[in-house]
Structure 1
Amino acid sequence: MQSKLKNMTDSVFSEYLKTAIPNYAHDNIESGRWAEKGAIERSSKDHKRLLPQGTKTDNNYLFEIISKNRDCSVGILWVAVEENYGIKTAFIYDIEVKKAYRRKGYARSALIELERFANDLNIHNIGLHVFRQNRSAQALYNSLGYNVVSTNMVKSIA
């Protein structure tokens, strides 16, 4: 295994938000879900709503992806866990590998490590959302056994 997951510190979380908020806004604009106007504000509100206590938000796990070879942070992983009708599920809100470390297997390794973490918590499945324009991520998830379970569609009428 070439990466491990380490709990994110508050200082790393603050730095993470500086890129996560604009990146999420950009992805939503590019996909056609959001208009450009107000997208940063909307993204910021979503992050505050989902992580009201930052790294200490209940049932949310924010990790740094650490390279075992280099002993440095190569990215982040954010997962939320919920239980409905006695079944625990995890949802990946964000996984991001820094540009210099992409295409080197770190995301794959982190997702495999996440499966171990999820097994320890008796989680039954792991879900995620991927934007249609992110073909490389879709290929990675497919190769790891993730399956499409629904498709969101939008038609612009204005």
Structure 2
Amino acid sequence: MTVRLEPLPPDRFDSWRAAVRERLIRRRRDSGLRPGADADEHADAIITQMHQAGAESRASAVLGILIDEVEVGTTWLSLPGERAYLIDVHAERELERHERDAVMTLIERLARETGAVTLSADAFLGDEETRSLLDGRGFEASSIQMLLEPLPDRTDADEHVDVAPMSRERFERFAADAERGFAEELAATGRISFEDAAAEARRQFGVELPDGVDTDGQQLFTAAVDSEEVGVLWLSRRVRDGVPHGFILDIAVDAAHQRRGYGRALMLAAERETRRMGAASLGLHVFGGNTAAVALYEQLGYRRVQELVVKTL
């Protein structure tokens, strides 16, 4: 068996682009991450960003997958430097395990040859084709998007945990701590340097909280037990598929108060506030290394709709 990756001929670029656009949209819709027209908009943004120069774009590589000189599918790679990204891989027939291994070996080799030290990919809920190519090859979840939908009707709220709006005075310390913590977690994924992570954290906080604690659509809370603060919650009002959607941007329990159920109490508070904003779904992002948090969210009914997986080459 021979397996090769061959650049896609320019005259096939338009038909490939139409097909990959449909795959990008379907994966996001089927997973529940972007169930409506926003899936179309996101797919178009990816294609436009990566292929501003059409088939001649240098930002990525579109390759045919040939097995014994017969094309069986295509793959699309972003190759910007040290961190390569597998945007799409698709076969027209089900590949055997040894064929999948051979294809992924060539993709990884190409990434290394262009200077990459890591290779990442998105694995969506329900996308068994991509997962079958990635599983067992040393990829680990770097970050996870999770979704709770519909919101459950719970009756077991922890009444002795007082969750109240954050004061302006408390916000100053929260902003500094949260920005630094996000930068540290982002750098720990290995995707970017700490300097770049710190810059990205500052940028995101500026976008999300331009007016601090008074920013419209953002709700910040502190949790206290017997008047002693035990944690914080940051909840954002967003739109998903044209309807209100809650998104947890930050949730933290002080180290001295962990393993006492306060994290769960904050999560239930997020559900209550999400209902008050008229939303029936709640999402969050968690770094893959935070296994305790992932376990809690799954116990509460969240499902993983998208995982960014990374492998060191």
Q: Shared topology, TM-score over 0.5? A: yes
Following TM superposition, by how much is the alpha carbon of 1:154 offset from its aligned partner in structure 2, in angstroms? 4.1
Residue in structure 1 matching 2:294, options 117, 132, 138: 138
1:96 and 2:252 aligned: yes
Q: Which amino acid aligns with 1:109?
A: A
Residue in structure 2 matching 1:82, options 228, 238, 245: 238
Structure 1, unpaired ranges of 5+ = none
Counterparts of 1:15-30 in structure 2 under 5 Å?
15-30=173-188
1:66 and 2:224 aligned: yes
Residue in structure 2 matching 1:44, options 198, 202, 205: 202
The equivalent residue for 2:161 is 3
Paired with 2:292 and 2:310, the residues of 1 have a C-alpha distance of 22
Report which of the two has the higher share of strand: 2
1:106 and 2:231 aligned: no
Tell me how many residue pairs correspond in the alignment.
155
Residue in structure 1 matching 2:306, options 140, 143, 150: 150
Structure 2, unpaired ranges of 5+ = 1-157
Q: Which amino acid aligns with 1:108?
A: R
Paired with 1:107 and 1:79, the residues of 2 have a C-alpha distance of 14
Paired with 1:6 and 1:37, the residues of 2 have a C-alpha distance of 34
The equivalent residue for 1:14 is 172
Percent identity of equivalent pairs? 30
Moved more, 47-56 or 117-126: 117-126
Following TM superposition, by how much is the alpha carbon of 1:18 offset from its aligned partner in structure 2, in angstroms? 2.0
Paired with 1:10 and 1:156, the residues of 2 have a C-alpha distance of 43
Following TM superposition, by how much is the alpha carbon of 1:38 offset from its aligned partner in structure 2, in angstroms? 3.4
TM-score using structure 2 length? 0.47
Following TM superposition, by how much is the alpha carbon of 1:44 offset from its aligned partner in structure 2, in angstroms? 1.6
Paired with 1:89 and 1:148, the residues of 2 have a C-alpha distance of 17
The equivalent residue for 1:127 is 283
Moved more, 134-143 or 106-115: 106-115
Paired with 2:277 and 2:257, the residues of 1 have a C-alpha distance of 29
Secondary structure of the 1:151 match is strand
Who wins on radius of gyration, i.e. which is larger?
2
Q: Which amino acid aligns with 1:120?
A: R
Following TM superposition, by how much is the alpha carbon of 1:111 offset from its aligned partner in structure 2, in angstroms? 0.9
Is contact 2:237-2:277 (8 Å) kept? no
TM-score using structure 1 length? 0.90
Paired with 2:287 and 2:305, the residues of 1 have a C-alpha distance of 14
Secondary structure of the 1:149 match is strand
1:117 and 2:273 aligned: yes
Secondary structure of the 2:219 match is strand
